[in-house]
Amino acid sequence: MNLSDRLKQVMDSHNITQEQLAKLTKISQVSIQKILAGQTRDPKFILEIGQALDVNPYWLKFGKTGPAFTNQVAESNSDYIANPTHRFKHEVDSLVKSDELTPDDIDFLKTAARHIAAIRRGNEK
């Protein structure tokens, strides 16, 4: 199963259309369509898509989650989604504990760090 398949599965389970997801994420419908068609395999807005669909963006992109994410059942999903710093730390902890940092993992961390920095800059204005 790849990103396109996982995204289709989650969209189907939430009964959400491409247009609705585009509005929720403020990403163009064409960009969503390209992800679903498998033309975009490394979307810049994976965090926003994960947030909108209430799924782990790391799972959405790579199809796996780290042990830290799956073992913390008591932690609320809303905190995971609402707090970008917490979300980023959570993903980093998962990767470090799994001891399996791949080039894709590193790219994901860099993308997450850029999003968090942008969010913080927006909050400071």
pLDDT higher at 22 or 80: 22
28: phi > 0 → left, psi -120 to 50 → alpha, else beta; which? beta
Q: How far apart are CA 100 and CA 123, in angstroms?
A: 33
> Region 69-95: what's the mean pLDDT?
52
Task: Report residue 41 as tokens.
Answer: 């395999």
* Residues contacting residue 48 through CB under 8 Å, at least 6 positions apart: 25, 26, 27
Query: What's the rounded mean pLDDT across residues 103-125?
Result: 70
* Mean pLDDT, residues 10-35: 91
Domain tally, the chain: 1
Q: Per-residue pLDDT averaged across 26-31, rounded?
A: 90
Q: Which domain holds residue 109?
A: 3-124
Q: Residue 42 sits in a domain of what CATH number?
A: 1.10.260.40
Average of per-residue pLDDT across 108-120: 74
